[in-house]
């Protein structure tokens, strides 16, 4: 891999195919690398050493990369090397829209008092063979616990009578008046009732007129349909890697 400037990365992404760079326009990425055969760009997002994206800009068979990390003098993690790997990645679609008001009497912000309910819907997949759904449930639980600790994100729940029937996590907005939807989870017994689009619309109402982004796998058709139903429009594609 060859380190390049972020301006060079931008030019490569824009020339690769329409919409690819648009998916990253709202991100603060501070490191970029190009494959030796000019077929892929790897981007490090912000100051998080574990968040990387790889974008196929040619005919690359690379879909994951590994970042070797070390601690600097401040005790923080620094990236010192990237290795390209020929592994199967997750091809994602990126959507965006602008926040807008929405009112739904069945949806409210979750708090510490809802801990048991959140645990109940994330544990419901113990008998589920859907690995993707199980990973989303775990992400939801992790975000909830993080939210309780530092309020870095906000979580909304939709209720069927008094029972939590699904939840959505929205990231803390950045200084560019942009935010993103992190995870949406609806347990199996509540799917097919239109809860996901309602949760997305409620999430958009948290920060009216902010720019929202929403990502999902290209084969996750229910998620794509829910995003479009709530007003999101397609922006571009990318491949996900987590170093």
**Rounded to an integer, what is the distance from CA 224 to the centroid of its chain?**
13
> Which has more confidence, 138 or 232?
232
- pLDDT category of residue 242 using cuts at 50, 70 and 90: very low
Domain ranges in the chain?
2-88, 94-242
Overall average pLDDT of the 203-225 stretch: 88
Residue 150 has a pLDDT of 77
Residue 68 has a pLDDT of 52
> Which has more confidence, 236 or 85?
236
Which residues does 4 contact at the CB level (< 8 Å), separation at least 6?
Answer: 12, 32, 33, 34, 41
Choosing among 3.40.630.30, 3.50.50.60, 3.40.50.1100, 3.90.1150.10, the CATH entry for 94-242 is 3.40.630.30
Residue 102 has a pLDDT of 96
**Interval 25-58: pLDDT, tens:** 656 667 787 776 667 777 776 655 555 666 766 6
- pLDDT category of residue 170 using cuts at 50, 70 and 90: very high
Q: In 3D, which of 56, 23, 44, 105 has the Cα closest to residue 243? A: 44
């Amino acid at each position: 891999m060859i380190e390049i400037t972020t301006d060079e990365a931008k030019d490569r992404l824009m020339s690769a195919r329409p919409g690819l760079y648009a998916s990253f326009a709202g991100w603060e990425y501070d490191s970029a690398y190009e494959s030796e055969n000019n077929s892929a760009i790897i981007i490090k997002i912000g100051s998080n050493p574990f968040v990387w994206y790889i974008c196929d800009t040619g005919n690359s068979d690379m879909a994951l990369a590994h970042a070797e990390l070390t601690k600097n003098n401040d005790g923080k993690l620094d990236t010192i090397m990237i290795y390209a790997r020929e592994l199967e990645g997750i091809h994602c679609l990126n959507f965006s829209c602008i926040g807008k008001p929405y009112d739904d009497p069945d949806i409210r912000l979750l708090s510490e008092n809802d801990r048991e309910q959140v645990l109940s819907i994330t544990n419901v997949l113990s008998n589920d063979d859907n690995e993707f759904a199980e990973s989303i449930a775990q992400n939801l639980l992790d975000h909830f616990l993080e939210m309780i600790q530092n309020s870095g994100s906000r979580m909304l729940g939709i209720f069927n009578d008094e029972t939590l029937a699904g939840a959505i996590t929205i990231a803390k907005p950045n200084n560019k008046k942009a935010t993103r939807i992190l995870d949406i989870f609806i347990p199996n017994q509540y799917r097919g009732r239109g809860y996901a689009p309602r949760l997305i619309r409620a999430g958009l109402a948290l920060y009216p007129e902010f720019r929202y982004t929403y990502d999902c796998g290209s084969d996750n058709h229910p998620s794509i349909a829910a995003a479009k139903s709530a007003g999101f429009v397609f922006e571009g594609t990318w491949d996900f890697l987590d170093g």
